[in-house]
A and B are shown apart, each in its own frame.
Chain A
Amino acid sequence: MANFETPELQETVEIPALKKGVMSHSRPFVSKEQFQAPLGFPGELADDWKDVAIAKLGELLKTNRALQVFMDSCVKCGACTDKCHYFLGTSDPRNMPVARQDLLRGVYRRYYTLPGKYFPKLVGATDLTEEVMDQWYSYFHQCSECRRCSVYCPYGIDTAEITMATRDIMNAVGKGQKYSNEIIGKVFKIGNNLGLPQPALEDTLLGLEEDVKDETGIDVRFPLDEKGAEVLVVTPSADFFAEPHIDGLIGYAKVFHAAGISWTLSSHASEAANFGLFIGSNENMKKIAMRIREAALDLGVKRIIFGECGHAWRVAYSYLNTLAGPFDFLDPRYPVPQHICEFTHDLIQRGVITLDKSRNDHRRVTFHDSCNVARASRMGDMPGGQFVIPREVIKAACNHFYDMAPETIGEATFCCGGGGGLLTDDLMELRVKGALPRMSALKQVVEEHEVTHMAAICAICKSQFSKVLPYYGFQMDQIISVHQLVSDAIVLDAQQ
């Protein structure tokens, strides 16, 4: 079905020559009234949409310091121009972070600055027209909000913030993106992105208990809605049945079993993902986050732990306290919330659980730092713990670990190409091309160290990679969950 060419893998990251407008056709399906209404957005463009959009921009400038400062501060130094994976993969200059920002900045200057009012041409100010709105829709859906550009900008200008703001403005005038908005609707109605109702969830979990029993002979439990459990686990719903996510979930369950700590999932908060972040809607993000507080109170748990999901961890780590806190009803001895890797890492350190590395000897593993974990959160109490802890967990679970090139991991990590609300089939070309830098880095370690698997701690990364790996000549099952490695290595009672 592909009517585009998969780019050639590269030795190192190459900066392409500009090809203007080559991705202007790329745009996701537009949302319909039925998906807009539950989020409180109009269903379609009204006659006065321009006024509404400009007013919304004004409101955001007054309520978000980042947006105001970022709109003013860019000096067009060009430091960010070669940092975006979508630019590197597509060659479209509008995918250079500053050029993407300028789509909004031009309108900002026109309506909110003196030079833009009187000398628009001089300062690159533009009237808001339908064409501009079309460009917004196209190119602000070619940003995965990965923040790589913000690492390199001398003022920390984060294009993700500008993308979120513009998507919020577009939603305010009724031009939403179907994929994200439909999913948020499902969370409100059913409780998770996949629209998996409570009975189906219960069935799935029972099935998993049987599978693990068959495989290990041990009764590892997957509890749902159990009041009085010690820990509430909130995990992306993909963990309930997508591959390789589900093997991660089995890993968490085995860790809890081995540590003897009681836990439960919640059907009310059966989703860690929070797409409110992607569409820049704080109201919706808060509403989604509140479910977690409600579930924790309802179930009477003492701790909250998040499963493997990148943007969910950003919302959890950085925002949950703000959006749904304070969490003074939980056990103060533990951070709220915790990441499953922090939890497992601590148990390994203290010798509470035992891993037999040799069980993963058939694998040679590398690790993909997911962008929201890397550049928008932390683990442990050291800056950069988000890089150390998952690697420590992997190294405790397997003998052969090799990092990809340093300029492609850690804070410099490349996005998988499918984050930020772009993980939809209508954006396949973008997703494949945006994966180019990561795929090239993977190729390097495959050649140098015969790496067989890439582990990740993000549901979106895992889904994206299973889809795009084959385009680049890899196998779709070369992407695995970090807790799948743990799952395969962990020593459970009966086997000791």
Chain B
Amino acid sequence: MFVTVLFALLFYVATAIFLVGLGMRIARYARTPAPLKIPTTPAPTTRGGVVVRMGTEVLLFNSLFKANKWIWLFGFMFHVALALVLLRHLRYFLDPVPTWVVLIQPFGMYAAFAMVIGLAGLWARRVFVERIRYISSPSDHLMLALLLGIALTGLGMTYLWHTDISAVKLFFTGLMRFELNPLPTQPLLLLHLFLVASLMVIFPFSKLLHAPGVFFSPTRNQVDNPREKRHVANVKWMIAVEKPAASADQ
């Protein structure tokens, strides 16, 4: 019971920090003006074009592909796998489990391996490629360790030390209704859950902000149409000198 209460609190707190922290960050990005037109050109000249550009960045890591095939390979592998694994986890939170979640289960199983390979590849580069080692701080290594820890403990439960999945599901669906159901006390499960909660807490304060950040990056999300449409923003320097300019018109 002690463990159940502890983990229930842990997940409430972690979820709150994750949602509020991320929400505040996103609000900040949205509120901050982009005073000038700075898309990296050649850039799309229409909104629709920008959606396509952003799509290729988010779904295919287009710029990264141009830059470096190895980083792209490992990074892409890791992220696609992560997405599949996250979707697969929906079955622990949704009742009844939607059909499409059932359908991706087999892919999800392999995805965990791809995730480990991707992370290991990225970490190997971080350690062995001199340039990347130079730009890494301890937090960059720890982040990979954390994700690898989550993936490996997860894999451990799938293949070696099984845990009572239906009890876990009852625990989480209970949390969503503010009810407490007992959580199995299997050590590997507790470690897995602890690492996931840590990731949620760290998310809004770390480089994981690249996930929302990419959508707000002016070099990627601006339309290249400065001559056709006057771009204005509410910043002091733009407004302040505006007055003499207007009087020059008279």
Residues of chain A having any CB pair with chain B under 8 Å = 15, 17-18, 61-66, 68-70, 72-83, 93, 96, 98-99, 102, 113-115, 121-124, 147, 150-158, 161, 282-283, 286-287, 290, 293-294, 297, 317-319, 321-326, 329, 335-337, 374-378, 381, 383-384, 386-387, 411
Measured as residues with beta carbon below 8 angstroms from the partner, the interface class of chain B is 35 or more
Q: Does B91 contact A (CB under 8 A)?
A: no
**In the complex, A335→B63 CA distance in Å?**
30
Q: Is the CB of B206 within 8 A of A158?
A: no
Q: Is the CB of A79 within 8 A of B137?
A: no
One of A154, A161, A377 near B214 (C-beta < 8 A): A154
**In the complex, A98→B67 CA distance in Å?**
14
Q: Does B40 contact A (CB under 8 A)?
A: yes
A72-B210, A287-B241 given; name 19 further pairs at CB < 8 Å.
A63-B235, A65-B216, A66-B218, A69-B213, A72-B25, A79-B67, A93-B134, A114-B205, A123-B206, A152-B67, A154-B57, A155-B220, A156-B40, A156-B217, A156-B218, A290-B244, A290-B245, A318-B37, A324-B245
Q: Does B34 contact A (CB under 8 A)?
A: yes
Residues 199-250 (chain B) with a chain A CB within 8 angstroms = 205-207, 209-210, 213-214, 216-220, 224, 226-228, 230-232, 235-238, 240-241, 244-245, 248-249
Which residues on the A side are within 8 Å of B57 (C-beta)? Answer: 154-156
**Closest A-chain residue to B129, C-beta based?**
A78
Q: Is the CB of A411 within 8 A of B64?
A: no
| Closest chain B CB from A481 CB (angstroms) | 23
Q: Is the CB of A69 within 8 A of B135?
A: no
One of A68, A99, A326 near B230 (C-beta < 8 A): A326
* Interface CB pairs A-B, < 8 A, 9: A77-B122, A78-B132, A93-B134, A122-B137, A150-B40, A156-B40, A282-B35, A283-B240, A319-B226
Selected interface stretch from B42-50, B81-89, B92-100, B173-181? B42-50
**In the complex, A156→B56 CA distance in Å?**
13
| Closest chain A CB from B35 CB (angstroms) | 6
Which residues on the A side are within 8 Å of B232 (C-beta)? Answer: 322
Q: Is the CB of A376 within 8 A of B38?
A: yes
**In the complex, A150→B226 CA distance in Å?**
20
**Closest A-chain residue to B214, C-beta based?**
A155
Q: Is the CB of A98 within 8 A of B237?
A: no
**In the complex, A323→B245 CA distance in Å?**
10
Q: Is the CB of B41 within 8 A of A377?
A: yes
Q: Is the CB of A123 within 8 A of B237?
A: no
**In the complex, A267→B244 CA distance in Å?**
20
Also in contact, A322 and B36, with CB within 8 A (given A65-B29, A74-B207): yes
One of A68, A79, A157, A324 near B28 (C-beta < 8 A): A68
Which residues on the A side are within 8 Å of B33 (C-beta)? Answer: 63-65
Also in contact, A322 and B213, with CB within 8 A (given A78-B131, A123-B137, A152-B63): no
**Closest B-chain residue to A82, C-beta based?**
B131
**Closest A-chain residue to B74, C-beta based?**
A77
Which interface residue of B63, B66, B131 has the most chain A CB atoms within 10 A?
B131
**In the complex, A337→B227 CA distance in Å?**
7
**Closest B-chain residue to A102, C-beta based?**
B135
**In the complex, A70→B207 CA distance in Å?**
10
**In the complex, A282→B28 CA distance in Å?**
22
**In the complex, A219→B71 CA distance in Å?**
61
Residues of chain B having any CB pair with chain A under 8 Å = 25, 28-29, 32-38, 40-45, 49, 57, 61, 63-64, 66-68, 71, 75, 122, 125-126, 129-132, 134-140, 142, 205-207, 209-210, 213-214, 216-220, 224, 226-228, 230-232, 235-238, 240-241, 244-245, 248-249
Q: Is the CB of A18 within 8 A of B131?
A: yes
Also in contact, A154 and B64, with CB within 8 A (given A75-B207, A78-B71, A282-B238): yes
Q: Is the CB of A81 within 8 A of B210?
A: no
- 4 A-B pairs with least C-beta separation: A73-B213, A124-B137, A156-B219, A152-B67
Which residues on the A side are within 8 Å of B125 (C-beta)? Answer: 78
**In the complex, A384→B219 CA distance in Å?**
16
**In the complex, A383→B66 CA distance in Å?**
18
Which residues on the B side are within 8 Å of A121 (C-beta)? Answer: 138
Which residues on the A side are within 8 Å of B209 (C-beta)? Answer: 72-73
| Closest chain B CB from A85 CB (angstroms) | 15
Which residues on the B side are within 8 Å of A73 (C-beta)? Answer: 207, 209-210, 213-214, 217
Q: Is the CB of B71 within 8 A of A77?
A: yes
Also in contact, A383 and B237, with CB within 8 A (given A75-B210, A113-B205): no
Which residues on the A side are within 8 Å of B42 (C-beta)? Answer: 378, 383-384, 386-387, 411
**Closest B-chain residue to A72, C-beta based?**
B209
Which residues on the A side are within 8 Å of B138 (C-beta)? Answer: 121-123
Also in contact, A66 and B66, with CB within 8 A (given A18-B131, A286-B237): no
Which residues on the B side are within 8 Å of A336 (C-beta)? Answer: 227
| Closest chain B CB from A132 CB (angstroms) | 16
One of B66, B224, B226 near A151 (C-beta < 8 A): B66
Q: Is the CB of A79 within 8 A of B64?
A: yes
Which residues on the A side are within 8 Å of B219 (C-beta)? Answer: 66, 150, 156-158
**Closest A-chain residue to B30, C-beta based?**
A65
Which residues on the B side are within 8 Å of A324 (C-beta)? Answer: 245
| Closest chain A CB from B104 CB (angstroms) | 25
**In the complex, A429→B171 CA distance in Å?**
66
One of A155, A286, A322, A329 near B37 (C-beta < 8 A): A322
Q: Is the CB of B131 within 8 A of A96?
A: yes
**Closest B-chain residue to A78, C-beta based?**
B132
Also in contact, A72 and B207, with CB within 8 A (given A96-B131, A321-B227): yes
Which residues on the A side are within 8 Å of B241 (C-beta)? Answer: 283, 286-287, 290
Which interface residue of A66, A93, A157, A387 has the most chain B CB atoms within 10 A?
A66
Which residues on the B side are within 8 Å of A325 (C-beta)? Answer: 230
Also in contact, A383 and B205, with CB within 8 A (given A317-B226, A318-B36): no
Q: Is the CB of A151 within 8 A of B44?
A: no
Q: Is the CB of A386 within 8 A of B29?
A: no
Which residues on the A side are within 8 Å of B137 (C-beta)? Answer: 76, 122-124
